Every structure is written in C-alpha cells, then in structure tokens.
C-alpha cells in the first residue's frame, strides 16, 4: 500500500554537467538550489541582485543588465541609515553611497556576462503581488520598510506576467540564442498576503508560466512547488515558520532536479566532489595525530587531482 503521491520526474534533454554555465534568479528558493550547485563546484551565479519575487522586477533587472544601464547615485534612497534601491534587495544596501553604487554595478556586469554566456537559466517566481511606488508609479522589487502609505499593492494579471516572461526570453535569446530556460514556482507561501491571496498569486504565476512554455521549446518547467505541496505534503518538511522548506525538503527537491538534469558522465565526478566537501568539514580532535596527518595528505592529493584533471578548485 502506498501512503503518498510521489511526483515522477522525467529526464530532460538539456543536461547539466561541469561544462555548463548556470544562472539562478528569483525567490529565496533560487538561493537554496544555487547553494547545491556551488557545493558541487558548478559554474554558477545566484541572485546577484539579491532575492527578487515578482516577474516585473526580474524582467526589469535583466533588461537593465543586458543594456548595460549602470546605476547612478541619484537613484538611491537613504532610509534606516542605509542607501537603498527599490529595484534591489537590501543585501546590496550599505552605509556608504559609493560602495552601494559600486556593488550594484558589479552585480550588473556579472549578470550581463552570465546572461550572454550561460547554458541554463533558472528563474523562480515567488509572488504575483507587487508594490507600486506612488512617487514614480513604478513597480518595485523591495519596499525596504519605507512607510506603506507610499506604495500601492496590486495583483499582476496573468496577461501581464506572461508578457514579462515573453520579454525575458526574447531579450536574452537575442544575445544568447542557445540558452535553456527553466522556470519554477517558489514553494514558499506568502501568507502575509493572506491564505486565499497567496493561492491566487501562485495560480496567476502558474497559468502564465505554462502559457509561455507552450509557445517556446527552449522554456521548461520544473515542479518544485508541486513536489513540496503534493509529494512531501507535511509540516515536518518545513522550517519552524511553517512556510520555508527545511534542509530535508530542499535535499529531496534537489535530488529530483538531479534526476531530471544530471549528465551521467559527470555524475561520478559529483560524487568525488561531495566526498571531498564532506571531508573538508571534518573537525579532528587531535591535529598532531598520525591519523590526521594521513587524512590531510590524502585529502590534498584528491583535491590536487580534481584541480589538475578537471579544473575544480576547493
């Protein structure tokens, strides 16, 4: 007897291996998966502008990066003792305006470089709820705890989301025609919007994504949202806030993603990298023991082999 509804993942044609160049944008779930790719030493760039939740803001920052429209000092707002930008996450904020602008422009250059040369782009949408800044009438990525009265909350219509997805795909393919797009829906529920409102938001995003996928062979969908909602389906797979997936859930979803995209010829190499990463985390009780010296000698030899043969550095 089966007591759960497991989602079967079929292998994708566009495999991911150590020759791949990956970029992940979007919600905090992109950070979770990006961490996994970094652990296995893939060539990956994750959320250079910090977490972004809505399709309009993601489209805006991609378009700006591709066009090389650099940030200027006049665009930033000084709030809560930090220089902030409404299109960027607070992880780029700083007490120094010069440093804030410099970091934002470095992120822009890195993003442009990866978009032009990446083999795979993962975009994870988190919410269709957006905030429009009354002063400029622009949809923003982050309100930075500026008083709510300065923003108007809106739900993006399906047509607007689909329009932004199409714009993202078109603009990137103009400079990188071979890039493969993988869209996902964040499994994190945005309950500050309300239970019903969260489901409405996710429904808008799902509908728009699948409408776009149906029109483009290079656009694919990975069911991260469905895996957590319909396969795992239990609060023991969540962190203490009951909203974010915990390590067990992220590991499970990661293994499903590996099943879909892994390049068999690189799978054994991933295992070697994992073995070294785990050994690097080892905390010895006696640094002067013969066992530990032997351990370090073997570890360094294994690292040197991967560095020489595959260009994988630790």
Domains and CATH numbers, the chain: 21-264 (3.40.50.1110)
The pLDDT value given to residue 76: 97
How does residue 87 score in pLDDT terms, banded at 50, 70 and 90?
very high
What beta strand segments (E) does the chain contain?
21-26, 43-46, 77-79, 82-84, 120-125, 129-133, 138-140, 151-155, 180-185, 219-221
Q: Average of pLDDT values for 124-152?
A: 97
The pLDDT value given to residue 147: 95
Q: Average of pLDDT values for 164-187?
A: 96
Per residue in 279-299, pLDDT tens? Answer: 999 888 888 898 999 999 999
The pLDDT value given to residue 285: 87
The pLDDT value given to residue 173: 96
Per residue in 93-134, pLDDT tens? Answer: 999 999 999 999 999 999 999 999 999 999 999 999 999 999
- Mean pLDDT, all residues of the chain: 95
How does residue 2 score in pLDDT terms, banded at 50, 70 and 90?
confident
Give me 141's structure tokens.
């990525």
Q: What percent of the chain has pLDDT over 90?
A: 91
Q: Average of pLDDT values for 267-287?
A: 93
E strand or H helix at 39, and its extent?
A: helix 28-39
How does residue 79 score in pLDDT terms, banded at 50, 70 and 90?
very high
Q: Please, which residues have CB within 8 angstroms of residue 176's CB and are 6 or more apart in sequence?
A: 115, 116, 117, 118
If DSSP codes are grouped into helix, strand and coil, which group holds residue 193? coil
The pLDDT value given to residue 218: 85
Q: Is 290 exposed, middle or buried (0-12, 13-18, 19+ CB in 10 A)?
A: exposed
pLDDT at residue 3 tops 90: no
pLDDT at residue 1 tops 80: no
CA 3 to each of CA 6, 200, 231, 245: distance values in angstroms, whole numbers, following the listed order: 9, 29, 10, 21
Q: Average of pLDDT values for 254-271?
A: 93
- Decide the pairing of beta strands 151-155 and 129-133: antiparallel
The pTM for the full model equals 0.94
């Amino acid at each position: 007897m089966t007591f759960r509804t497991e989602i079967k993942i079929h292998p994708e044609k566009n495999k991911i291996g150590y020759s791949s160049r990956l970029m992940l944008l979007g919600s905090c779930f992109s950070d979770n998966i990006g961490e996994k790719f970094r652990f296995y030493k893939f060539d990956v760039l994750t959320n250079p502008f910090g977490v972004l939740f809505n399709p309009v803001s993601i489209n805006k920052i991609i378009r700006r990066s591709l066009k090389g429209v650099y940030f200027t000092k006049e665009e930033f707002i000084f709030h809560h003792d930090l220089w902030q930008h409404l299109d960027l996450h607070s992880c780029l904020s700083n007490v120094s305006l010069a440093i804030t602008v410099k970091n934002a422009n470095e992120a822009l250059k890195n993003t442009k470089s990866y978009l032009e040369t990446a083999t795979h782009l993962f975009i994870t949408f988190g919410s269709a709820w957006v905030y429009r800044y009354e002063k400029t009438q622009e949809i923003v990525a982050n309100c930075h705890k500026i008083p709510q009265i300065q923003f108007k909350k809106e739900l993006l219509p399906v047509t607007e989301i689909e329009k932004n997805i199409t714009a993202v795909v078109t603009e990137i393919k103009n400079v990188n025609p071979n890039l493969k797009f993988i869209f996902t829906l964040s499994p994190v529920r945005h309950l500050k919007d309300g239970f019903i409102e969260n489901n409405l938001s996710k429904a808008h995003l799902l509908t728009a994504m699948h409408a776009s996928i149906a029109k483009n062979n290079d656009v694919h969908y990975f069911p991260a949202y469905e895996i957590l909602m319909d396969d795992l389906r239990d609060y023991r797979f969540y962190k203490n806030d009951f909203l974010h997936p915990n390590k067990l859930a992220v590991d499970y979803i990661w293994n499903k993603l590996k099943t879909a995209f892994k390049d068999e010829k690189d799978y054994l190499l991933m295992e070697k990298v994992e073995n070294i990463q785990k050994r690097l985390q080892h905390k010895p009780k006696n640094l002067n023991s013969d066992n530990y010296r032997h351990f370090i000698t073997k570890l360094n030899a294994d690292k040197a082999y991967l560095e020489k043969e595959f260009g994988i550095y630790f």
